[in-house]
Amino acid sequence: MLRLTAGQVSDYCGADTVLDALPKADVLIADKGYDSNRLREALAKQGIKSSIPGRANRKEPIGYDTELYKSRNLIERLFGRLKDWRRIATRYDRCAHTFFSAICIAATVSFWL
């Protein structure tokens, strides 16, 4: 199921929309934008460990697997390559289905070449 949030929605609020659609996984790796106790608790209820560093303004530092977090680099490079396509970077398409189709085409062409 395709889930797409508005551009101005914060990361941790947007994560609420996809929690029930997450595939079976052992660990969720995310950046500081997803740091919230509510998200960590929801993941724990689903049996998913979180590797999310705490924000700088967090009063109590939170632990995370730093070695596992380094693998997030692969995902960031994927998004960087997709954003080379102007249509995706500016979210030119209004319809979520069309936007997702553009992402699929860009990913196929980018990684095929």
Number of structural domains in the chain = 2
Enumerate the β-bridge partners of residue 69: none
pLDDT digits (tens, 9 = 90+) for 57-105: 888 888 888 899 998 888 888 888 888 988 888 878 878 888 888 889 9
Grade residue 27 by pLDDT with cuts at 50, 70 and 90: very high
pLDDT digits (tens, 9 = 90+) for 31-61: 888 888 888 999 999 999 999 999 888 888 8
Buried b (16+ CB within 10 A) or exposed e, 45-57: eeebbbbbbeeee
Q: Is 77 found in the same domain as 60?
A: no
Q: Tell me which residue range forms the domain holding 38.
A: 1-64
Domain stops at, among 39, 64, 89: 64
Which pTM was predicted?
A: 0.74
DSSP structure class, residue 57: T
